[in-house]
Every structure is written in C-alpha cells, then in structure tokens.
Structure 1
Amino acid sequence: MSVTQSQMQPPPPPYPGYEQESAGFGEYLGILRRRRKLLLAVGLPIVAIGATLALALPDVYRSEGQIEIEGAQAVRQNPNALAQDPEESPYADQYVRSLSTVVLSDRNLAKLLAEHKLYDGQADDPAGALEDLRGDIKVDIVTVPILDPNTGRERDVVTAFSVAYDNKQPQRAQEGAEWLVNAFLAENRNDRQRQAGGRAKFFAREAERMRQHVAQLEGKLAEFKQKNAGKLPELNEMNLNVMDRTENDIQNVESQMQALRRERVFLVSQLSQARAASPEAGNLRALEDQYARMSVQYDQSHPDLIMLRRQIDQLKAGGSGAGLSLKGQLQTQRSILAEARQRYSEDHPDVQRIQRNIQSLEARIASGETADVSTAADSPMAMQLQTQLNATDTQLAALQARAMELRTKLSGLEGRIVAAPEVERDYQAVTRDLASARAKYDELLKRQMDAEVSEAAIAGGTADKFQVKSSPKIPEDPAKPARIAIMIIAIVLAAIASLTAVILAQLMDTTVRGARDIQDILGVAPLTAVPVINHSGAKKHKRGAPAYAATAAAAVAILALAVVIRFVA
C-alpha cells in the first residue's frame, strides 16, 4: 500500500476520547532487530578500541610509602590533643607541599636519575626522562576527620602524606619510591635543623644584647645605692631600730649626766669642807669614814677604795698629800687602772672612768701644767675630792660630746626615714627594670639552650617529626591500567553510542511499517495485514550488503592485534 508524504502527517483524532496505544517492549525489540547492523557498526568499533586499550597498554607498577606526622596518632585517639598541642599547625598540608617543591626540584630528581637507572633511554634524553619522572611521582595528603573540641564541628586533620612512584618495572618503582621517602625525611630534618640553628643564633644575639642591658642596669643600681646609702628601702627597719637605740642611748647619757651633775655638786660641797679642816688627823678620820661608807656600796677591789686605802696608809705612815704633782697623780691613776683591769673588763664603767681621768691628766701635762697649786697646800682629803671633781668634769665633758654625737646621728636617721618613700619609689623602678631584664635574659638563655639541644637532637636523628608508617615495597600486581574498568567504560560507551544512533535513525526514518503505523497515520485500524513475502531478489539484496560483517571483521582484527601486542610482543 503506497502512502504520500501528506498522508503520513498524523491526522486529528477520529473521535473524542481516542488515545494512541504506547509502543510495547516487543516493538522496541523489533526496532533493535531491524537496526542491528547499525548497532554493530557503531558499538563494535568502540568495544574493539576499548579492548585494544585494555590489552595493549603496558603494565605500570606503583610502589608507595606513607610518612606520618608526629602527633597524628594522638590526635586520632584523642581529639582534645589538637587543642593541647601548641605545635599542631593547620598549615601542615602547605608545609608538605613546600617540602615537595624542594624534594621534587630538578636538581634532586636529576640526582635520583643519576643514582638509579629508572628509564631505559634516560642517558640519551635526560630532559625527557626528567619530565617522565616528575609525572610518575605522586604526593598525596592523608587526612582524618575528627570532631574539633574548639568549634564542635567536624574537620579534617592532616596526619600523614603518601609518596608513590610509578614505573613499568616493579623493582625500579620500589627503588624510586624508597629514594623519595628518604629524601623527604632528610629534607625535613635539614629544614628543622636550619630552623633550630637559626633560632639558636637569634636567641644568642638577643641574650648578649640583654646581658649588656642587664650590666647597664646593675651599674645604675650600684650607683643609686652608693648615692642613697642608708636610705634604701631594705634599710628602713634597720634605721628604725638604730633610731630607737640611739634615742635610748641619748636618754642613758642624759641620765648619766644628771647623776654626774648631782655628784659634782656633792663633791664641791665636800671639797669646801675639806679645805676648811686643817688637821691631818681629821683628814685621816674623814678618809676612814668615807672608806667605811664606800665599803658598804662597793667591793674591796673597787678603784676608789684602793685609792682611799693608799691615802689612809700614807697618812698613817706620817706622809702628806701636799705638793702632789700631776705626774704623781698620773702614776697613781695608772696603778689603780692596772689593778682594776685585773678584776674588770675594758667595757666596765670604772675602768673607762679611770681611763678618762688618765687622759685628762695626760692632756694637762701635755699643755705644760706641772703641779696642782691649789691642792699643794690642801689636805689629802681635799686632794682626793679635787681629783674626783676633775674626773667628774671630764666625764661630763665626754658625755656631752657623746650626747652631741648621738643627736647628730639621730638627726641623720630622721632624714633617712623622711627621704625613704621617694628613694623607695626610684629604687623600685630601678630594681623592677633590672628584675625584668634578668628574667628576660634567663628566658633567652633557656630558649637558646633548648634550641641548641633541639638542633643537636635533630642532627642525631632522635627528634624527627616525620616517621615512616609504611615503607615502599616491591609491588606484585600492576597499579594501572585498570583493564576491567576500561572494558566496562568501553562497553557502556558503545551501548550509549549505539542506542543513540538507533534512536536518531528511527526518528529520521519515514517508512511505514506495520498496522500500527497505518493506524497512527490514518486514524483507523486496518482490516488485515499482508505478511512479508520473501523472494529471491530480497535474499540477493541481503547478501550484497554485508557492511556489518566488514565492521565485525575489523573489530576482530583490532582485538587480535591488541592480543598480539599484549602477550607476544
């Protein structure tokens, strides 16, 4: 039945509610059977090419080593160690990349090619071998997801990195990967050693500068102490104590001066009475009475009692004290001092009093005085009283000088106490700067020693931050190409391309086939269908167009070539 082009346009529905029947699975299969030549013509070459690639590509072996960064194990087990470890850096991946730039430099890769023969023609084409080597090296960062204790969110932490090398021979792959792993370890060690050495030199320079600063501050402090001697804050308590003792000493001296003044008044009264009495017997009795009174108060070895006994013995022997010279008095006082020293120490008040009497007599003799004229005609009693009066005057003069000295000392101490707050403020400023400088100097020395120890430990290989987690091994199976994956991809691509071609061919084909096409075009169902009548011309036509057979033969040839290349060549 012949149908024109206009008749092929689908007419409007013949009646309301008319719906076209959807194509069934059988019709799709029929389309595929009719288009099987197109399917094979498009799909077989793609499958053949994929099989050729899967079979013809050479085996490439990969040897890989993994280097773990120090502290990664602790971070994996305890995420809180991330916040506790001050050396954990979020830029570990950047450091690995910068380290890769150094290790994978042309100089290092040329050194690797010189030490190991990784490519057959590397001596003839070193530049090409260098480029091939660079392309065959893979450095990948290994991260582990953890829950960050600081933010409460999941984040990736760099714990290690892998170094892989691809080569057609497994032994060469292992040699190249092992060399690269050792190069990463050595470069990291050298880098950390350079950093530690730089830190040590920096801290050494800073420590020397701070030492000079400390020396300047110490000199300033010494000068300040010398300028403000006695006014420093640490001496305040001592100054207060000395001030209290000085006030007590002044009071004691005042008390002694009061007592001596009263004694002087008494001696002057007795001296007047002794000079009024002329008989020596009366003097003897007076001396004996005085000796008896003083014996009650003093010991027999007291210097005054010794002098009274000598005068009494001299009067009993018929002698007289008249005309006694200063030298004689000095000799008598020296004798009394010698006897007093046998019984008392040098700090005893009587010993000191006799010494002052001796000093007074020596001063009078040195001034040119030869005899006490006023006592030349006096009785021994009067002479004794005059001697005591002279000693009392000497003691009063000494105590007055001592009181003046103590008051001067007290005035100086009061000045120190008044100036102490201002001096303390300046002193604290100087000491604070000095303490801060010394603390900084000690810290710099400690950090310098730590850096030097770290440098020595890194040089000795006992403080490496990188540890080999897995060493490169000789690979047993090739890493690529992924032959099964290539075949699967080729089959999928072939199926997609073939179906696409069939769909396009079906859309562009205007031939009417079967009762369904007539029903779609005319809107009426045919009464009957005449089956296809096979005749000799049709068979002859089929045998004359074996295009799909040629395609199949070409695909088989390609596959055969791939097999020969893969297993024979």
Structure 2
Amino acid sequence: MEEQTTDLKDYLVAFRRRKKQILTATGILAVISVLVALLLPPVYRSSATILIEEQEIPVDMVRSTITSYADQRIQVISQHVMTRANMMQIVEKYNLYPRQRKRETTEEILDRMRKDIKLNMVSADVRDRRSGANTVATIAFTLGYDSETAAGAQKVVNELTTLYLNQNLKTRQQKTSETSTFLSEESARLSEHISEIEAKLAEFKEKNAGRLPELAGLNMQMRDRTDSEVMEVDRQLNVLDERKIYLEGQLSQLKPNSPMTSASGERILDSDERLKSLQAQYVSLSGIYSADHPDVIKMRREIDALKKETGGDGDMQEQAKQLTRMRSDLAMMREKYSDNHPDVVKLKKALAALEESHKKTLATSSDAPKFRKPENPAYISMQTQLESTNSELKTLRTKRADLKAKMASYESRLEQAPQVEREYLDLSRDHENSIKRYQEFKAKLMEAEVAQQMEKDSKGERFSLIDPAQLPEKANSPNRPSILLIGMVLSLGGGFAYAGVLEGMDSSIKSSKVLAGLLNAPLLSVIPFMENSEDRSKKTKLKTSLVIGAIVGIALILLSIHFLWQPLDVLWYMIMRKLDVWLG
C-alpha cells in the first residue's frame, strides 16, 4: 500500500464535504462570543488627579520639618486611608458589591475593593535640592476606582480624594507638632542640665577659690611677690637684730640715773649709791653703837626708805634686764633652729633658772618691786630705741609668719591646680557643649514652630485637586469590540478545527485516489455522485439556513457596533465625511 499525500485539492474537497459542520460550529461559537461581549457587566472607572504643590514660602526662608519624598508620604497616607474601618465605611455608605457581600467574607470584599482602587504616580525630571543632581520626582498622582456603575465610581473616588487630602493635612500637622514638642522637651531638658552644671560650677569655684586654672598665672606672680617680700623682711630682721645687739650693748654701759652735782661742783650720790654707802656706814656704826642707838635707828630707817625707793634689792633690776635680753635671744634662736637644738635647750634652761631666781627675789622682798624711773637722758634715749627696735622686730616676725603662710597657700594652690584644672575643664566642657546643643535646639525649635504655623496656614507643601472625579460616560472595560473580533476569529478557527477533528476520526473511503492507494491497483472507472430529490431538498434547506444565519449575524454585528462602539448614524456620518475628504 502506497502512502497517500494530501494536497490543496484534497483540503478543498474536505471543506466542501464538512462545510455544514464548519458553519454550524462557527455559528455556535460566534453566537457565544456575541453573548459574552454583550452580557459581560460593564466596569466604569472614575479618576481624580492630585497635584503635589511646593510650599509657597521659599525654602531658604522657612524650611519644612517634613523631609521625606512625596511618593513615600503618599504610600504612608495610603496605609492610613485604606484601613479596614475606612474601607468598610465606604462599602456600606455606597452599597458596594451587593451580590458579593452575600456570599463572600469581609476580608474578601476588602481585597476586592483594594484591587479596584487604582493609585498611579505622575513623575517628572527635576533637580534635587539636596544633592543638586537631576532625578525623577513625583509631582502628582491619580486616584481611580472601578465600579459596575458610573455614579458609584465617581462617588468612591470623591470619597477617597477627600480622605487623602484630609489625611495629608493631618499627617503634616501631626509631624510638625511632634517635631516641635520633641524639640521643646529636649530644650527644656538641656536647660535643666545647664542649670545643674552651672550650680556645680558655682559650687566648684566656691570650693576651689584661688585654685582655678585662670588664676594659675596670678598665683605664680603672687607667690614670687610674696617670696620677695619674705626676703625683704628677712633682710630687715637681720638689720634690726644687729641694731638690737648694738643698742643692748650701749644700754648695758649706761646707768639709768645720771650723776648729779651740787652748786659747789661736788658729785651728789644717787639712791643706789647712797643705799650702798649707808649700808657700809650702818655696818660700821652698828659695830660702834647698839641697835637702840638713835643714830643706828635713824640710819636703819633711812636704809629702809632707800630700799623701798630702789626696790629693796640692787640686783632685781639687773635680773629683769637679763630676763628681757634672754627672752629676746630665745625668740631669735627659735626662728633659726628647732626647739630640740642644743643651743635652744641650753638657753631655755638658763632662762628658766633666772626666772626662778627672780621669782624668789620677788617673794623674799617685803614690798613689790618698785623700779625707779630712769633719769639719765642717754639711757632713756637708748632704751626707747631698743623698745622701738623690739617692737619693729615683733611686727616683722609677725609679718614674716603671715607671708610664709600666704606663700604656703599659693604653693598649695599651684600644686592642686592640675587636678582642679582637670575637673574644672570637664565641667566647663560639659557646660559649653550643653549650651551649644541648647542653642542648636532652640534654633531648630524656632524653625519648627514657624514650619508648624506654616502648615496650619496651609502655606507649606500640600495636595491640590486639579482634576476632580468625573462621571464616566462609557465603560472602561470590557472592550466589547475587541472581545467580539477575537470571538469571531476564534469561532472561525473553532469551526475548521471541529471539521478537522471529524475528518481525522472518519476512516471511510472518500475518493478514488484513496481507493486506488488501498487496492494498490488502477481503477477501471469512477461513477460520479448523482443527486436525487432528497439531496436537492437538503441543499436548499442548507442554503436557506445559511442566508438566515448570515442575516442574523450581520444584524448582531450591527447591533454590537451600535451599542458597543459607535452609534450607526454617527459611524455613517464619519464614513461619509472621510469619503468627502478623500474624493476632494
């Protein structure tokens, strides 16, 4: 058996043989396509365009505290707007999805609505104020909604637009208010911190008065100056010590009472000399007379009177002078040596012995010591100079002690200065940094308050509705002409496909060529198909059906064009107008 090849003639024969099935399948599919195009529910889309306007006041004068990008803010606003509560409120307010709400859950309804809401950004090439580079920025956005009714789409878009505009104002005012509140609280906290640091600084300065770093130079100058003063006082003390020794030497060579002379030029004895002379005479007279002798009694009375006048003991004045001199020497020696020095110990013992002897002399004396007032002018002058020198020495020693204490204080301040400086610098640095941060926050707070007022007055960046939602005049979807065209093409293809399937499943012999191939032998003759009355009747009915089907199809196509695309009268007018243009 030879393999049979299929050529174009065979396809044409098969088409003539299966044309009934092809037309039937194509017609059924075409009707289905038309029904689908007509019965699909219309979807109306209404949209609004919102422009993102920049702030009216120049950025150089007032800077907004909201620095995020527009698309980011829009996404954030969308999350606030498309909440469960807002969406369900819109669904119930406008009775959206009435059929779906009967059989679907709330979450499914919300998902369906979110899918029907269309948010699209409108971008443009701009120059970024931060970096100065060209970039793409969002300058506007459109809000759309798909609904089965035109009025419903418009109402929902208007509602969404209102929510977006209000939420933008609320978000911007809330952010500026939060920024101002934060900066105000931070400024108050820094102010309290500065007050605490200032209190610590005041307490530290009071506690370390004189040891502060800024006084280090002054302390060094005062220490050097005090040291110079101490050296000067030491020099003066040395001079006065030498003068004192000289005056004491001169004073020891003078007698308190100057010798007196009579008119004849004879020397008159003073009280001490007369006392000594009378005592000598009394001894001689006592050897001659008895104690009751009038001369002895008279002399004894005179001696007693002189003793009272001179103090009773001639050595008492000398002891007093020695006590004064030794005490002065001990004071000078203590300035040079410690109390344990051998010379100091020896002098202290001698002074103690002399004081004890002087006390005994005073105790054994019948009357209190009555020193005779000096009468010698030279003695008085020398004694006055010595007392003045002692007074100056005492004053200088006191001054020297004060200067030493002052210099020790300055040295102590200088020694403690590094530690005090570290603590003081820490407090000062903290104080300066806090003041700097406080000033920065106060400046930012003022800017934030101005920005907040700008937002309240709607002078900042804002959303402006430049194209409100309109009532859709025609459905956005489905595209019925496209569905109809595709349906017709698919119907025709489906008819041929159906015929091809039937032809493939039919194993009968349909031509002499096939029969000759099966028998592998030539045919003697071929008897053609002869129609009878029944065949002619079927052919007539088929033609009638085809004509009726064509008329119905053309009518359906015209109706589809009229209702789904353009009214036929308008379309006819457009065609005639174009013909007039073409024909000139």
TM-score (normalizing by structure 2) = 0.57
Are residue 40 (structure 1) and residue 9 (structure 2) matched? no
- Residue type at the aligned position of 1:227: K
Are residue 461 (structure 1) and residue 458 (structure 2) matched? yes
Indicate if the aligned counterparts of 1:193 and 1:459 stay in contact, CA closer than 8 A: yes
Indicate if the aligned counterparts of 1:275 and 1:378 stay in contact, CA closer than 8 A: no
How far apart are 1:242 and its partner, in Å? 2.5
- Residue type at the aligned position of 1:457: M
Are residue 138 (structure 1) and residue 117 (structure 2) matched? yes
Residues 458 and 43 (structure 1), Cα distance of their counterparts in 2 relative to 1, 3 Å cut: farther
> Helix, strand or coil: the match of 2:231?
helix
**1:235 equivalent in structure 2:** 215
**2:346 equivalent in structure 1:** none
Give the gaps of 5 or more residues in structure 2.
Answer: 55-65, 98-105, 129-134, 260-370, 569-584
**1:105 equivalent in structure 2:** 86
Superposed, 1:493-504 pairs within 5 Å as 493-504=490-501
**1:197 equivalent in structure 2:** 177
More off after superposition, 243-252 vs 430-439: 430-439
The one of 514, 535, 540 aligned to 2:537: 540
Output the CA distance in 1 between the equivalents of 2:115 and 2:69: 31
How far apart are 1:206 and its partner, in Å? 4.6
How far apart are 1:232 and its partner, in Å? 3.1
Output the CA distance in 1 between the equivalents of 2:174 and 2:113: 27
The number of equivalent residue pairs is: 427
Output the CA distance in 2 between the equivalents of 1:520 and 1:159: 77
Indicate if the aligned counterparts of 1:63 and 1:170 stay in contact, CA closer than 8 A: yes
More off after superposition, 95-104 vs 505-514: 95-104
**2:47 equivalent in structure 1:** 64
> Helix, strand or coil: the match of 1:194?
helix
Are residue 411 (structure 1) and residue 411 (structure 2) matched? no
**1:357 equivalent in structure 2:** none
**2:481 equivalent in structure 1:** 484
Superposed, 1:111-150 pairs within 5 Å as 134=113, 138-142=117-121
Output the CA distance in 1 between the equivalents of 2:516 and 2:136: 65
Output the CA distance in 2 between the equivalents of 1:403 and 1:20: 145
Indicate if the aligned counterparts of 1:112 and 1:179 stay in contact, CA closer than 8 A: no
Indicate if the aligned counterparts of 1:64 and 1:162 stay in contact, CA closer than 8 A: yes
- Residue type at the aligned position of 2:207: K
Output the CA distance in 1 between the equivalents of 2:31 and 2:228: 123
**1:245 equivalent in structure 2:** 225
- Residue type at the aligned position of 2:395: A
How far apart are 1:414 and its partner, in Å? 1.7
How far apart are 1:425 and its partner, in Å? 3.7
How far apart are 1:189 and its partner, in Å? 1.6
- Residue type at the aligned position of 1:197: S
Identity, % of aligned positions: 27
Superposed, 1:85-484 pairs within 5 Å as 87-88=68-69, 94-102=75-83, 105-106=86-87, 109=90, 134=113, 138-142=117-121, 161-165=141-145, 177-261=157-241, 373-374=373-374, 377-378=376-377, 390-435=387-432, 438=435, 441-442=438-439, 445=442, 448-464=445-461, 466=463, 472=469, 479-484=476-481
Are residue 28 (structure 1) and residue 7 (structure 2) matched? no
> Helix, strand or coil: the match of 1:510?
coil
**1:510 equivalent in structure 2:** 507
- Residue type at the aligned position of 1:140: L
Output the CA distance in 2 between the equivalents of 1:207 and 1:433: 16
Residues 419 and 561 (structure 1), Cα distance of their counterparts in 2 relative to 1, 3 Å cut: same
> Helix, strand or coil: the match of 2:82?
helix
Output the CA distance in 2 between the equivalents of 1:527 and 1:417: 144
Indicate if the aligned counterparts of 1:232 and 1:423 stay in contact, CA closer than 8 A: yes
> Helix, strand or coil: the match of 1:230?
coil
How big is each residue's C-alpha offset from its partner over 1:407-452, in whole Å with a ceiling of 9 and x where there is no partner?
1111122222222333334444444555555555555555555544
**1:360 equivalent in structure 2:** none
Residues 137 and 181 (structure 1), Cα distance of their counterparts in 2 relative to 1, 3 Å cut: farther
How far apart are 1:530 and its partner, in Å? 4.8
How far apart are 1:504 and its partner, in Å? 1.5
Indicate if the aligned counterparts of 1:141 and 1:158 stay in contact, CA closer than 8 A: no
More off after superposition, 489-498 vs 171-180: 171-180
Residues 210 and 458 (structure 1), Cα distance of their counterparts in 2 relative to 1, 3 Å cut: same
More off after superposition, 428-437 vs 559-568: 559-568
How far apart are 1:514 and its partner, in Å? 2.6
Give the gaps of 5 or more residues in structure 1.
Answer: 1-10, 14-18, 72-84, 120-127, 150-154, 280-370
Indicate if the aligned counterparts of 1:48 and 1:556 stay in contact, CA closer than 8 A: no
TM-score (normalizing by structure 1) = 0.58
